[in-house]
Amino acid sequence: MRGRHTDAVVIGEPHRAFYGNQYGLTFPLFEHYRVGLWVPEVGGAIDPSSEAHDLVMSVFGGMSKGERNRIKIRVRSSMEAQTKVEGRFLGGRPPYGYRLADAGPHPNPGKAAIGQRLHRLERDPDAAPIVVRIFGEYLGGFGIFAIAQRLTDDGVPSPSGADRARNRHRDGLAWSKGAVRAILINPRYTGFQVWNKQRKAELLMDVDDVALGYETRMRWNPREEWVWSERPAHPAIIDRDSFTQAQALLASRGPTSTGRTVTRTRHPYVLRGLLFCSDCGRRMQGNWNNGRPHYRCRYPAEYASAKALTHPPTVYVREDHILPAIDGWLAEAFAPEHLTTTLTALEQAQPDHDARGPALQRQLAEADRKLARHRAALEAGADPAMVTEWTRQVQAERQAVSAQLDAVGAQVAGQGSDARLTKQQIKALVEGLGGLLAILRAADPTDRAEVYKQLGLRLTYDRVSHTVLAETQPTSSMCVEFVSEGGLEPPCPFGH
């Protein structure tokens, strides 16, 4: 912790402290910070230069890994037996349509002694009829999207809306297709307890740097590995025949049911990430249609109705309806005859102050806070040699930041009250852009996209007026223009 110094760490059971190769990855940190590591099994402090100590600690890491695997096997075997034989609810969030009910004291005496109790699932009187409705409408011919829209239109709270305490990260305004599908594929609505649908997989955070360790991700297990209870464990909401029919109907839809193969082809989109929808403010996605690049914004109708937006399910615009007008506008804005207007706009748009000043001031204040903490640590009895080294490093950082801050101040003072580019510098920049824009139409789509990105181009498509609001901000705000979607009108003069 900050402000405290640790002389050594004592580990009583090393086969529980380090797992696998954790010792080899963490012990260099002990050496770096000059903190000793004491292990009784090696007779005291670990000697970094001792091969015997490294060997012993590696053995302990292997023992820890083996013990962990044995514990995992025992726990999973016990949970499988409890699910299959007892039909016990093993914890977690109850499925939509159910709620938790008390099932008596915990059979484990130790857990019962601290007040832990068993739970079981019981029907939720408000949500269970909605589950029945979803299965009925799906088997009646309605699609998942239509069911979600009908539920939203009828004002039925979505799963996240019905349980706001555990879904604060969701808006809960409308039903999504994912929520409807999750209900349709959940076998616990048949009254049987099902376990082992998912597993925790440990994946390398970076395959090129295994020292970073692993991260845990949830993965679906094959259906044949799911564990079902031998008899019903809680009240059923859907009978098994209806559930089986729903699964067959789900499997019959999609590319795999008809033998079609889906091949994905990468197409170049010049305006990728630059085009936004004016209705919802989201980025429009590239979509290849009839051999041409398009951009679309798909907004589910149930979300649009819940948020009172007049947003069609899909908004489309063709790329070749935008590019000619954009290129013409940029070429005219940076043309020699408009150079004076461009220079004036750029000069007026420059920030009044050097943006580096506040950031450097914050770094300087942080360095002062570090020095104060080091002084406090010294007064509290920390090692003077170590505190002196820390203080020397912070003082060196502070001097470097202070020099940068002085340089910024001198630059601002030398150019008057503001640190601004001269007109000659702006002219050189604009002339360079003018030469670059002259070859835009013949450029490769990937290179063209990079030019737009460097220009800070942002486009907002208005489906009602069929216009695009174009903004470009290479370093700061330059201009705002409207261009026609179809390119039928000439570009407006720069600065209007």
- Local confidence pLDDT in tens for the 496 residues of the chain: 456 678 888 988 877 778 777 888 888 888 888 888 888 888 888 888 888 888 888 888 888 888 888 988 999 899 999 899 988 888 888 999 999 988 888 888 888 888 888 888 999 999 999 999 999 999 998 989 889 888 888 888 888 887 777 777 666 677 888 889 999 999 999 999 999 888 888 888 777 777 677 788 888 899 889 999 999 999 999 999 999 999 999 888 755 545 555 566 677 888 888 899 888 778 888 888 888 889 988 776 555 555 556 777 788 889 888 888 887 777 776 666 665 665 566 555 555 555 566 777 777 788 787 777 767 766 666 666 666 777 777 777 777 777 777 766 655 454 444 445 555 655 565 555 555 555 565 666 777 777 777 777 889 998 888 888 888 765 443 444 444 444 434 334 333 3
pLDDT at 475: 46
In-domain check, residue 236: yes
Tell whether 237 and 134 lie within a shared domain: yes
What pLDDT does 409 receive? 62
Q: Assess whether 286 and 243 both reside in one domain.
A: no
Give pLDDT, residue 138. 94
122 and 50, same structural domain?
no
Task: Please enumerate in sequence order all residues whose Cβ is within 8 A of that of 211, keeping only pairs 6 or more positions apart, or say none.
Answer: 25
Residue 267 phi/psi, 5-degree rounding, is: -115, 145
Tell me whether residue 209 is in a domain. no
Say if residues 179 and 152 touch (Cβ distance below 8 Å): no
CATH code assigned at 113: 3.90.1750.20
- Residues 145 and 238 both lie in one domain: yes
CA 326 to chain centre: 32
The helix or strand, by DSSP H or E, that contains position 325, with its residue range, turns out to be helix 323-333
Confidence at residue 489, expressed as pLDDT on a 0 to 100 scale: 41
Identify the DSSP state of 300. -
Q: Are residues 150 and 181 in the same domain?
A: yes
pLDDT at 387: 66
On whether the CB atoms of residues 445 and 268 are closer than 8 A, the answer is yes
In the chain, the amino acid numbered 11 is: I
Q: Is residue 461 part of a domain?
A: yes
Residue 321 within any structural domain of the chain: yes
Are residue 238 and residue 288 in the same domain, yes or no?
no
pLDDT given for residue 488 in this prediction:
36
Per the domain annotation, does 261 fall within a domain?
A: no
DSSP for 366-383, written as a single string: HHHHHHHHHHHHHHTT--
Number of DSSP helices (H) and strands (E) in the chain, helices first: 17, 16
Residues 130 and 248 reside in one and the same domain: yes
Please answer whether residues 90 and 83 qualify as being in contact, where contact means their C-beta atoms are separated by less than 8 angstroms: yes
Alpha carbons 242 and 226: distance in angstroms, whole number = 20
Answer yes or no: do 343 and 427 share one domain.
Answer: yes
Residue 442: CA count within 13 A, CB half-sphere: 4
Tally of structural domains, the chain: 4
The answer as to whether 2 is a domain residue is no
- 87 is a domain residue: no
Q: Are residues 52 and 107 in the same domain?
A: no
| Tens-digit pLDDT profile for residues 207-221 | 777 767 778 888 889
Separation CA 404–CA 367 (nearest Å): 14
Residues 21 and 159 in one domain: no
Q: Are residues 131 and 162 in the same domain?
A: yes
Q: Quick one: pLDDT at residue 253?
A: 73
Supply the range of the domain harboring residue 142.
98-193+229-256
Claim to verify: residue 280 and residue 429 sit in the same structural domain: yes
- pLDDT tens digits, residue range 13-71? 877 778 777 888 888 888 888 888 888 888 888 888 888 888 888 888 888 888 888 98
